[in-house]
Amino acid sequence: MMRQPFMLVCRGVACAALAVMVLAFGVVSTLGEEFEPQVGQPGKDVVWVPTPDALVERMLRMAQVTPEDYVVDLGSGDGKIVIAAVRDFNARALGIEYNPEMVALAQRNAKQAGVEERARFIQGDIFEEDFSSATVVTMYLLPGLNLRLRETLLQMKPGTRVVSHAFDMSEWEPDESVTVEGRSAYLWIVPANAGGVWRLSLPLGQEIVTATMSIRQQFQEFAGTISLQGTEVALQETRLVGARIEFVIIEAGGEQRRFIGSVDGDLMRGAVSGPDGRTAEFRAERVGVAPAIFDAAAPDF
Ligand SMILES: C[S@@+](CC[C@H](N)C(=O)[O-])C[C@H]1O[C@@H](n2cnc3c(N)ncnc32)[C@H](O)[C@@H]1O
């Protein structure tokens, strides 16, 4: 028997009811259209549990998201972090989610929120997709998954902000943490690699002198020395936030010099201020290769 076209088999009240359903649900059945997510449903590496709204907002505020940011949520679920980043902070954002039905749901949610132009979702595995252009990474995963991602995160551009709901990064201490309604979130700022040996040029009196600076680094913490005119002095008050680096040295005569600069690959430069308050430029070039940002075998500072 030949199939009757829809218009011929649909009559009277039944036809009207069907028409209403078509309008109400957009019966054009695209992937996941009627999919109802269940809290705790299995995911590839972790189940789906949404981050509460208040914490989403706090996480994005802690990361200081601005319209210049590109926020990537790893395992984006129903899309709420991505949508909030666009809707409330005017950023661009991407969600990477393994479950295609959740991707379709997030896309519908973004459309409903009117942010679909700047909120994108892709189906993919967070361990395979390239998210290196993100300026902010958010996640709500598991401790083991955070650790699997740690090396990739540390390779991102210095200054990239990483925010995790609930789970930390083991030895990589957070730069900040918050608790909202009993739930915690952590912020890390990807540090530049400042480790290794540097040839440092700095003004001393009327001269520019060259010194050797050695730095040991563990994530955003570092310690080191400068060998200056035959004396070795320790770096003090060390601070590394993204690419910005600061330290102080006290010279043999008790004079203090404060260095504030930035690390850009194998180059460090900035300003050094002396005891008289005057500032001058300093510059350093790394000698040899940069060591790893974290060495599990290295002693603590
Ligand atoms: C705990 S939920 C968090 C959802 C969302 N980020 C939030 O905070 O509301 C984790 C999400 O990661 C997804 N997921 C699990 N393993 C994944 C993988 N390898 N790649 C991409 N997504 C994954 C799950 O399907 C789930 O939606």
In this structure, the answer to whether residues 71 and 185 fall within a common structural domain is yes
In this structure, the answer to whether residues 178 and 62 fall within a common structural domain is yes
Nearest residue (by CA) to ligand 1, atom 13, is 75
pLDDT over threshold 80, residue 8: no
CA–centroid distance, residue 28 to ligand 1 (Å): 27
In this structure, the answer to whether residues 68 and 183 fall within a common structural domain is yes
Whether 260 and 211 have beta carbons less than 8 Å apart is answered as no
Domain presence at residue 299: no
In this structure, the answer to whether residues 180 and 66 fall within a common structural domain is yes
Domain with 234, as residue range(s), is 196-287
Whether 222 and 238 have beta carbons less than 8 Å apart is answered as yes
In this structure, the answer to whether residues 237 and 181 fall within a common structural domain is no
Domain count, the chain: 2
In this structure, the answer to whether residues 165 and 94 fall within a common structural domain is yes
pLDDT value at residue 48: 98
Nearest residue (by CA) to ligand 1, atom 23, is 75
CATH number, residue 179: 3.40.50.150
CATH number, residue 228: 2.40.128.120
- Structure confidence by residue, pLDDT tens digits, 204-236: 878 999 999 999 999 999 999 999 888 999 999
Using the 3D structure, point to which of 128, 162, 189 is the last residue of a domain.
189
In this structure, the answer to whether residues 252 and 274 fall within a common structural domain is yes
Q: Which of 186-195, 197-206, 227-236, 271-280 has the highest mean pLDDT?
A: 186-195
CA–centroid distance, residue 126 to ligand 1 (Å): 9
Phi–psi pair at 153, nearest 5 degrees: -65, -40
- Structure confidence by residue, pLDDT tens digits, 103-149: 999 999 999 999 999 999 999 999 999 999 999 999 999 999 999 99
CA–centroid distance, residue 149 to ligand 1 (Å): 14
In this structure, the answer to whether residues 104 and 163 fall within a common structural domain is yes
In this structure, the answer to whether residues 180 and 64 fall within a common structural domain is yes
